[in-house]
Structure formats: C-alpha cells, structure tokens
Amino acid sequence: MTTIALINPNSNTATTARMVALAQAAVPGASITGHTATRAPGMILTEGELIAAAPEVERIGRALRGVDGVIVSAFGDPGADALAAALPVPVTGLAQASFAAAARHGRFGVATTTPALVAAIDARAAQLGHGDRFVGTFTAGDVDPRLLMDDPDRLIDTLVRAVRMAVARGADAVCIGGGPLSGLADRIALKVPLIDAVTAAALDMKRQIQSRAT
C-alpha cells in the first residue's frame, strides 16, 4: 500500500488529525500518517513563524522511513523545497499543490485569515512561477485568527468576504489558504471553484507517486 507522510508544521495534534482525515478521504487507497511539529506555535500566524518552522519540518522529513511521498501541510510550504531536494520521494506543500489546482481554472487568488502571511503567500506564488495568473491574497477583517477558529460562523463569514474580494479582482478560482482552514471550502456557498489545500496536496501526491511508478 502507498504510504504518504503528512507533516503539520503547526504544533496542534487536533489539526494534524483533521488534515490526515481529509487527505485520507481524497486518496482512500493510500495510508496517510500524520507527524506534528513540537517546536512551533499551535497556529503559524507570521512570516517569522513560517520561516522558523522550516528546520523542524526538514528534521521530521529526513527522519521518515518507508514512505512513498511527503506532504508539508502548512500554507507557505516551510521546508518543502529543501526536503524535495534531499529526499528520494516526491514532496509537495499546500500552497504548491493548491496553486497548481487553481491555475487549471485560469486566474486565481487566495482567501485566508492571516494578514501577516499575505506577503509570504504572494511571494510563494511568484516563486512557483504563477505570475499574471495569480491575482493576490485576500483577508477580511482584523480578528485574531485563533479567535476566529473558535467561532465557526464568523470564520466562514470572514472567508466568504475574502473569497468575494479575490473574485472581484478577477479570480476564476480561489484557494482557501491555511492548513487549519482545510475542510471549510465545502461550507462556502459561492459559485466559484474553491480549492481545499489538503485535498489538493493529497491528489497531487497521488499523481506524483503514480507518475514515478510508470
């Protein structure tokens, strides 16, 4: 059986379990194993925290044995490029996979709840070569993202407004940008393709593993 490791750079085991369940639902024929960072905040909120997460992601990834692929399950892909260069198996990140999935629809944007990560997400899109297809990263409101996670209705309303901002800027599809936000796309009732990050990463990893096997 194909085994895929999902590394959560946030030190929240409940988030890891939820992301593993989403990935497993996307690729039911594979075995998804979760690995949670211990030297990181429960929810990465700033560019500094994103950068600081990379070494532990690399440490966890380099210690893995017997896996066919690795998902770095934070939007921003900390440590993903270094792992991809170091490991003999494919590696993908939430932003990398989400952007690729969204770009199939045309122009795309990101809706998120973490204003301090907007610049990092925009930079990742540019680094991955999406150029004019990427319309930007959008947030709505200034509520602490951790408080939003405790208020599901307000969280969805905030994401709906951010999605609408992206569409108004010309997005044909919108990525829901954040590991802890994965699974929420189905609750946003808007007529635009919404990309769930963990699902996109799991499907991308399945494709990469199958491609290597042929």
pLDDT for the residue 192: 97
Question: In sequence order, what E strands does 154-207 have?
Answer: 173-176, 194-196
| pLDDT over 80 (residue 99) | yes
Task: Tell me what percent of the residues of the chain surpass a pLDDT of 70.
Answer: 100
Q: Rounded to whole angstroms, what are the CA distances from 97 to 39, 93, 112, 149, 196?
A: 25, 6, 16, 23, 10
- 3-class DSSP state of 93: strand
Domain covering 3-93+199-213 in this structure, CATH number: 3.40.50.1860
How many alpha carbons lie under 13 Å from residue 152 in its C-beta half-sphere?
A: 6
pLDDT for the residue 214: 75
CATH 3.40.50.1860 domain position(s) in the chain: 3-93+199-213
**In 3-108, where does DSSP find H-type helix?**
13-26, 47-63, 80-86, 94-103
Instruction: Count Cβ atoms below 10 Å from residue 190 Cβ, excluding itself.
Output: 14
The β-bridge relationship of strands 173-176 and 108-111 is: parallel
For residue range 44-69, list pLDDT tens digits in order. Answer: 999 999 999 999 999 999 999 999 99
CATH 3.40.50.12500 domain position(s) in the chain: 96-197
Comparing C-alpha atoms, which of 72, 38, 40, 43 is closest to residue 53?
40
Annotation: CATH topology of 96-197? Rossmann fold (3.40.50)
For residue range 121-165, list pLDDT tens digits in order. Answer: 999 999 999 999 999 999 987 778 888 988 999 999 999 999 999
